[in-house]
A and B are shown apart, each in its own frame.
Chain A
Amino acid sequence: GAGVSQSPRYKVAKRGQDVALRCDPISGHVSLFWYQQALGQGPEFLTYFQNEAQLDKSGLPSDRFFAERPEGSVSTLKIQRTQQEDSAVYLCASSWALVGIYNEQFFGPGTRLTVL
């Protein structure tokens, strides 16, 4: 398909485990965003990449959260030593827009993380 894909769709982790969530953006999209959506809330910004450069990570809640996009396409969000409060849906979005141009972001289906 031509949309944003994410894997796994569901992840259950024991508290203290490390997890890695993958995002495949739409081909050719230079901008990639990660959002966290808690139950009953809207998505909240975590971090932003333009190609391989991480230009904004102001939304990452702690230093346990780390994101990378080494070749400017696929991105991985890693959470170390998971805590129960990390339980949420993690959404990835991509956009063709460069800085200075407005454009809608296209979202993937999300990864639902449950930390026991």
Chain B
Amino acid sequence: DQQVKQNSPSLSVQEGRISILNCDYTNSMFDYFLWYKKYPAEGPTFLISISSIKDKNEDGRFTVFLNKSAKHLSLHIVPSQPGDSAVYFCAASASGYSGAGSYQLTFGKGTKLSVIP
């Protein structure tokens, strides 16, 4: 039972165009969402996050949109660059969910983005 779903295993985009990566979640207790980028043989690198009190957060070329009613978030990369080619993971956490107060992250399976020069 996947609580965080990334339904597109891969995405190809032309350099300079917009990349849109999508993520859906089922657990209504999730209230903090993050995007990580991962290159082969490296650990995930934090990109951008958003809390449930917002519907948009922007950082340079990266913007995350959150639609709570649809339990959907998306990451927009504009303009896309060849160096953006990597696997992107959507992750979510719920405050106090475990009772111990840990903020364990629940991850999707990832979307492999290829930016074509």
Contact = CB atoms under 8 A, between A and B. Distances in A.
Contacts of B95: 100, 102
Contacts of A42: 4, 89, 91, 107-110
Interface size class of A (residues with CB under 8 A): 20 to 34
B28 interface: no
Identify the interface centre among B51, B106, B107: most chain A CB within 10 Å of its CB: B107
Nearest to B51: A102
Given A99-B101, A104-B34, A45 B106 contact: yes
Interface string A47-69: 01010000110110000000000
A107 B44 contact: yes
A38 B82 CA distance: 27
A45 B101 contact: no
Contacts of B41: 109
A110 B43 contact: yes
B104 A45 contact: yes
Given A42-B4, A42-B89, A55-B102, A109 B109 contact: no
A102 B32 contact: yes
Interface of A: 4, 31, 33, 35, 40-45, 48, 50, 55-56, 58-59, 91, 93, 95, 97, 99-100, 102-110
List the 5 closest pairs (A to B, CB-CB), nearest first. A42-B107, A107-B43, A99-B101, A48-B102, A45-B104
Interface of B: 4, 32, 34, 36, 41-46, 49, 51, 89, 91, 93, 95, 98, 100-110
